[in-house]
Structure 1
Amino acid sequence: MLIQVMCNKLDQVTAYIDDESIHFVLLQNGVYLLPRLLTLVSPHRIKVLDVDWRAAGLDAQFNDHPAINNKHVNYISHTQWVVLCAEHTPVMTLQ
């Protein structure tokens, strides 16, 4: 299962963090969850839409953040996002 997270409300995501088969794509306001989500979920389960991360200005803000730099964050393009949606079913969106 793939969950597209478009909100920055951690309480909407916590119900799904224990299921290792669920992967998360953070986009739009969901990119703000990355530092907190990395403390709860293995980084291989998290993908971040690169253009949304950069558009939010978070690249510079979290440049030295240990939760991000010490983990291997997977930044993805729009094309990779579409491929992930095709490969993982079902796809759920949290707004």
Structure 2
Amino acid sequence: MLIQILTDDLRPLQQYESYEGPVILLQDAVYVAKEIKVSYPGFDVYMLESEFLASGIKTSDYYNIIQPEQWVELCANFNPVLTIQ
């Protein structure tokens, strides 16, 4: 499974607290990357480079910056893909 998060509201993530796997941050979720990684240490957090650049946030150890091709590859390799908005 792969989880895509588009919101800065962490409440919907509570049901996945034991999940260990890839999580892609998009849209407003990029602004809470640190909180997500600290609250859910099993998440392997990714962020698209375009989202990172648009956000103006600083580089961090809390997430990995990826290209669109890598995003597609992750989605193809981890099914199902769950999107939390």
Q: In which range does the TM-score fall when normalised by the shorter chain?
A: 0.7 to 0.9
CA separation of 1:44/1:37 partners in 2, compared to 1, >3 Å: closer, same or farther? closer
Partner of 1:83: 73
Partner of 2:49: 50
RMSD over aligned Cα, in angstroms? 1.8
TM-score, scaled relative to structure 1: 0.77
* Paired positions, count: 85
Pairing 1:9–2:12 present: no
Amino acid at match of 1:11: R
From the two aligned structures, give the one with the greater strand fraction: 2
CA separation of 1:72/1:35 partners in 2, compared to 1, >3 Å: closer, same or farther? closer
Distance 2:49 2:43 in 1: 16
Amino acid at match of 1:12: P
The sequence identity of aligned pairs, in percent, is 32
Distance 1:85 1:11 in 2: 23
State the 1:46 CA deviation.
0.8
Q: Which has the larger radius of gyration?
A: 1
Distance 1:72 1:30 in 2: 13
Partner of 2:40: 41
TM-score, scaled relative to structure 2: 0.85
Identify unmatched segments of 5+ residues in structure 2: none
Identify unmatched segments of 5+ residues in structure 1: none
State the 1:43 CA deviation.
7.1
